[in-house]
Amino acid sequence: MSQTATDDSQVADLETAMTTDPKPEQHWIERGPQKRLMLFSGRSHPALAQRIADKLGIELGAVELETFANGETYCHYKESIRGSDVFLVQTGCPPVDRNLMELLLMAQAAKLASAKRITAVMPWFPYSRQEKKSAPREPISAKLVADFLQDAGVDRVLTMDLHAGQIQGFFDIPVDHMTALPLFAQYFRDKGLSGESVVSVSPDPGRAKMARKFGQMLECDMAVMNKTRPAHDQAAISQVIGDVKGKVALMGDDMIVTGGTLVAAAEALKKAGAVSVHVFATHGHFAGDAIEKLAGAELAEIVVTDTVPIDTLNQPDTLTVLPVSGLLGETILSVFTDGSVSAIFAGENQLF
C-alpha cells in the first residue's frame, strides 16, 4: 500500500472517531467533599494546644519552631498541609512580641504551603487593651495586630473575651468571639452562689453589660464600681453603685494583670458591706508580684481560665483555674464543619 493511501486511511479513522465519541457534557472535574482538619501549636501555650487536640481526638501537627542566635524565629511544617483546614493555636502571653511574630510566620508558611484555610486560635488577643487612642500621639496597637494577621494570610480568627468589642471591626475577615462566662456561671452555681444573696459586680462602667448578663445567669442583682486610672496598671475605686450590703460579691473582668483593680475593688466592696468578695477573670496574666498581692487581699477566691499559662507551683490556695479546651475544641469543630459558633453559647457570646 502506498504512503498516500495509508495517510488517507488514518485521517478517515480519526474523523470517524470524532463523530462517534460522545462530547464532554461539562468543563470541570467534580470531586466528593473532602476536608482535613490539622491543628498546630506555637510555643506560647503548648499544654493548652495538646488539651484541645485531645478533645478533638487528633494529634498535633508536626511543626519545627526555633529561635536563631540573633533572636529571629524559624518555622517549618514537617508534613504536607496542602488543601487542609489549618488551625494555629497561639495565645498572646509573654514574650508577647516573639509569640505574635511566631504566629505570623506560621500563618505565612501555611499560606505558601497551599493550606486551604488558615484560622488563628488566639485565646488571649495581644495588644487588645490598646484598642483606641487615650492620649495624643499614641498607636492603636490592636488595629495594627489585626492588619498583621490578615497580611500574613490568616483567613479567620478565634478569640475569647476581648477587652473591647470594636476590635472585631478592625478585621476584614471573620472573627469568632467566644466567652468563658458560662463556665464561670456554672462554677459558682455548683458552689451554691446564686439568687438574692449574691450580687454581680462590674469593676467599671465599661463592663456593666457583661455584669448584667452574668447576673441574669445567676438570677441575682448587679452593682457597678466607679474606677479611675491615675497611671498605667494602677486603679482607684471612688464609688460603689448598687446594693452590696450583706451579699456575696462576684466581680468579673476580662483579665488580671497586676491585680491592682481587684485589690482596690475588694476593699471598697467590704467597706460597702459585702460579706465576701469572689473575683473571676478569663485571662490570668499575674504580672510581677500580682499573685502575692492578691493572696494578701481580702478576697475569698480568685477564678481564672487557662487561656494563658498559669504557674501552678506558686498558685495560692484561693486560686482556681478552669479549663477552656472543651469550649475551644467545640468551636474549632464548628468552624471546620461550617456549623454555628454562637449556638455553642446559646447566642450569649456578644457581650459588648
Q: Looking at the annotation, which residues are catalytic? A: 227
Q: Are strands 63-67 and 73-77 parallel, antiparallel or unpaired?
A: antiparallel
Mapping DSSP onto H, E and C, the string for 238-269 reads EEEECCCCCCEEEEEEEEECCCHHHHHHHHHH
- H helix or E strand, kind and range, residue 102: helix 96-112
Round to whole Å and give the CA distance between 327 and 159: 11
CB of 77 closer than 8 Å to CB of 105? no
Alpha carbon distance 340, 76 (integer Å): 32
Of 146, 112, 118, nearest to 61 (Cα)? 118
CA-nearest of 254, 183, 177 to 217 is: 183
- Is the link from the previous residue into 95 a cis peptide, with omega within 30 of 0? yes
Could you please report the per-residue DSSP string of 311-341? Answer: -STT--TTEEEE--HHHHHHHHHHHHTT--S
State the CB neighbour count (10 A cutoff) for residue 68. Answer: 8
φ and ψ of 156, to 5 deg: -160, 150
Q: Pairing state of beta strands 221-228 and 236-241?
A: antiparallel
Beta strands 248-256 and 156-160 are unpaired
User: Minimal CA–CA distance to 305: which of 143, 173, 187?
Assistant: 187
d(CA 288, CA 142): 23
